[in-house]
């Protein structure tokens, strides 16, 4: 007969889980009811702090299969041979909303993939857009503050949103994408994903290239209108979460093709755009997409908290053959993401089952809250040592790249924030432009100050005169004379 006894957290059998211990039939509850105390104390701590951003999310397990030989570009074991399969876990998310917010809001979607490779875990932590609102991590806390709730009213604040964007013209490209039809995906399955940043691939000979990741959905891109999104948000705020779960559950496994753009290292000094500026894209005419492999999601989590909520991702979770670039936004994320996980989940978050590497982890990190393995046992706990402890492998050092200059606070050299946004506008059909203008006008109407509206109109106009003029007309304002 199967032992199915209810126990305490320390394994002792529970004699009564329906009635607390009291002093007599009507007496007060006794402190000696340790099972009650443990249940209440644990319940009080069941919710870890939600993520500051990307709080609402859905996840799934799957695999990545290499379909094209890219070993001349990278020595990463993940891409070592055609046909190689690597297990993975993905988490999709909205950015600004809280854990209970609606799935169908207008917001970028997080697109974070953890590959469990034979040389450790590798994370690609991107979005469903190829660019971002800012390009220097020093502005990130301020930007996110504008997307969160006002400290007095505890309401979303369009004045803060558009004040920040109007004073940060580098945001214009991403704002145009966000306010377009692509701002509200129909489902998590019907959107592309991007690594967004520039990374460096290095091959076995030590030769490197700059790369960008593109996940192209095989389901096709589908979006929904603001009206439909609002209706779904009211009827089923967990619509995207439910759709992903149900699709996988019935065997309709979503898939994406992974491509990279590859740029020779020397091109970074001469390309028309700074290739490390995450508010810009590389033209696919200049650097065509090269197929790498295929990602398939084929089974759902067994437990949301253990797998989706406790999953931790960082662009600093790297493997040999994949390195970082001087992208200032990326450089800040290398610290911030791991640090956020140490705060939210704990110092030993990497040891949790969903985050634990498939290969053996050997290091000298010890102790910390919730250390739940053998904590290194009695093995040597410092390095260097003469006791046979694990040692570094120089061949796996990150690839070098030259740096020069004076240590100071400096901006990017390239400040054309209008051409790519304007090109995107001009690529749209008239129907898409009309939707874009309508979405922006609706979002800006609640802004109380005309100077903020006019400053932002100026950015739209500089991207494309028609773009700015239509926004101005929709808001009942005139394009500022100084930008014409």
Residues labelled as active-site residues: 54, 127
- Looking at the DSSP bridge assignments, the partners of residue 58 are 92
Distance between CA atoms of residues 105 and 185, nearest Å: 9
Distance between CA atoms of residues 178 and 306, nearest Å: 31
State in Å, rounded, how far the first CA of the chain is from the last one.
83
Specify the DSSP element, H or E, that contains 109. strand 109-117
Specify the DSSP element, H or E, that contains 245. helix 239-249
Distance between CA atoms of residues 112 and 102, nearest Å: 19
DSSP state letters, 427-469: HS-HHHHHHHHHHHHHHHTT---HHHHHHHHHHHHHH-HHHHH
- Per-residue b or e along 81-104, where b marks 16 or more CB atoms closer than 10 Å to that residue's CB: eeebebebbbbbbbbbbeeeebbb
Distance between CA atoms of residues 172 and 80, nearest Å: 39
Find out whether 125 and 314 touch, Cβ atoms under 8 Å: yes
Phi, psi of 427 (to 5 degrees): -75, -20
Compute the C-alpha angle 412/415/419, nearest 5°: 140
DSSP 358: S
Closest CA to 222 of 236, 238, 243, 203: 243
- Evaluate the omega torsion of the peptide bond into residue 384 and state whether it is cis, within 30 degrees of 0: yes
């Amino acid at each position: 007969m199967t032992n199915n006894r209810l126990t305490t957290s320390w394994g002792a059998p529970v004699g009564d889980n329906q009635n607390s211990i009291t002093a007599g039939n009507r007496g007060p509850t006794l402190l000696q009811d340790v099972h009650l105390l443990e249940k209440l104390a644990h319940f009080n701590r069941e919710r870890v702090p939600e993520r500051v951003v990307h709080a609402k999310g859905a996840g799934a397990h799957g695999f990545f299969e290499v379909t094209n030989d890219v070993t001349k570009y990278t020595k990463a074991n993940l891409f070592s041979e055609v046909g190689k399969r690597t297990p993975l876990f993905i988490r999709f998310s909205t950015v600004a909303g809280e854990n209970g917010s609606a799935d169908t809001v207008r917001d970028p979607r997080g697109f974070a993939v953890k590959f469990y490779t034979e040389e450790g875990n590798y994370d690609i932590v991107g979005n469903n857009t190829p660019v971002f609102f800012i390009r220097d991590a020093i502005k990130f806390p301020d930007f996110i503050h504008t997307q969160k709730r006002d400290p007095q009213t505890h309401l979303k604040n369009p004045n803060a949103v558009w004040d920040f964007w109007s004073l940060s013209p580098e945001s214009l490209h991403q704002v145009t994408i966000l306010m377009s039809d692509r701002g509200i995906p129909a489902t998590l399955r019907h959107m592309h994903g991007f690594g967004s940043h520039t990374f460096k691939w290095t091959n076995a000979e030590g030769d490197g290239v700059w790369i960008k990741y593109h996940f192209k959905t095989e389901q096709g891109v589908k979006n929904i209108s603001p009206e439909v999104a609002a209706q779904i948000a009211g009827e089923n705020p967990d619509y995207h979460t439910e759709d992903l779960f149900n699709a996988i559950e019935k065997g309709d496994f979503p898939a994406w093709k992974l491509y990279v753009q590859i740029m020779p290292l020397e091109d970074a000094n001469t390309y028309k755009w700074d290739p490390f500026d995450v508010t810009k894209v590389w033209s696919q005419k200049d650097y065509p997409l090269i197929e790498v492999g295929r990602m398939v999601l084929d089974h759902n989590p067994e437990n949301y908290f253990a797998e989706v909520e406790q999953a931790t991702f960082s662009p600093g979770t790297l493997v040999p053959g994949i390195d970082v670039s001087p992208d200032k936004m990326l450089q800040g994320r290398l610290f911030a993401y791991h640090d956020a996980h140490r705060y939210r989940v704990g110092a030993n978050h990497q040891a949790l089952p969903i985050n634990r590497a498939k290969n053996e982890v050997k290091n000298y990190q010890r102790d910390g809250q919730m250390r739940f393995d053998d904590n290194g046992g009695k093995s040597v706990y410092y390095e260097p040592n003469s006791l046979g402890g694990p040692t570094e492998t120089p061949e796996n050092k990150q690839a070098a790249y030259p740096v020069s200059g004076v240590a100071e606070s400096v901006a990017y050299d390239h400040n054309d924030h209008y051409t790519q946004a304007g090109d995107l506008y001009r690529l749209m059909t008239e129907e898409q432009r009309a939707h874009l203008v309508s979405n922006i006008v609706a979002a800006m109407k609640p802004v109380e100050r005309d100077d903020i509206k006019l400053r932002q109109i100026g950015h739209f106009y500089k991207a494309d005169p028609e773009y700015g003029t239509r926004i101005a007309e929709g808001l009942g304002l005139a394009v500022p004379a100084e930008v014409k």
